[in-house]
Amino acid sequence: TLNNNSYRRWCQIFKLGTYILDSNCQTKRQIHNNNVHSKNTKQPRLEDLDRAFRVLQETLPKLFIEPLDYSIYSPNLVFENNITGKQTIGLYHYVKQIALLRTVGHLKYAYVKFEVLKITKHTEDYTVKIRWRIRGISGLKVMLSFWKYKLWQIKEIFDEQESWYDGFSVCYLGPDGLIHKHVVDRVMPDENKEIVEPESGQSLPTGSVVVSSPK
């Protein structure tokens, strides 16, 4: 009887120990899952979105004049170019493509300009969306058309002889507040080529690639 009582007592102690160990394991798993979920759901700060928007708004119009401010981009930036159907990973490759765009623009056109038609920022998904246009006129067109105009009609030469390309960009901010992804899509040109002033509190995405049929 004594042995039976001891056996039962040890069985109870063993079950209690097993229960405690199992509870500890479940608690650790729950803490781990909560940490992972917290890490994955971490969002950028609103200040980061404002900064990205402001930098893009100020620097994109100068794309063909001076280098962009790459401090707002992640070193592992994913550039998804739906115009060419290619994707690159890494800020180095992105910088090379922007430099190539600038070089080709100056080689192809005597006058080239990057215009931000509209730029907006979106707090629901922490993105900056940009509607842009690249305008240019070749040196040959300037020479062939120059005799038709007076010296004070230079603006008319550009307005009537220029080519223009439209595109749309979306920049996605990551948890660290930097742009982790930039997607560029083709956009057909608008009939009205006038620049649309951005609405207050809104901005457009940047870093788009030229797309659309020349006028």
The structure's pTM equals 0.62
Specify the higher pLDDT residue, 197 or 140. 140
Q: Whole-angstrom Cα distance, residue 195 to residue 118?
A: 8
Per-residue 3-state assignment (H helix, E strand, C coil) for 120-164: EEECCCCEEEEEEEEEEECHHHHHHHHHHCCHHHHHHHHHHHCEE
Specify the higher pLDDT residue, 210 or 166. 166
pLDDT digits (tens, 9 = 90+) for 19-73: 555 555 555 566 555 554 445 557 899 999 999 999 999 999 999 999 999 999 9
Calculate the CA 119 to chain-centre distance.
12
Q: Whole-angstrom Cα distance, residue 54 to residue 121?
A: 10
pLDDT digits (tens, 9 = 90+) for 98-155: 999 898 888 888 778 899 999 999 999 999 999 999 888 775 555 555 555 454 455 5
Helices vs. strands in the chain: H and E counts, helices first: 5, 6
The dihedral built from the CA positions of residue 84, 89, 92 and 95, taken in this order, carries a sign that is positive
**Do the Cβ atoms of 105 and 112 come closer than 8 Å?**
yes
Q: Whole-angstrom Cα distance, residue 88 to residue 51?
A: 24
pLDDT of residue 81: 92
pLDDT of residue 158: 55
DSSP secondary structure letter of residue 9 = H
Q: Whole-angstrom Cα distance, residue 128 to residue 49?
A: 8
Q: Whole-angstrom Cα distance, residue 199 to residue 117?
A: 11
pLDDT of residue 136: 80
The dihedral built from the CA positions of residue 173, 66, 210 and 167, taken in this order, carries a sign that is positive
Paired tokens of 135: 């305008």
Q: Whole-angstrom Cα distance, residue 73 to residue 12?
A: 60
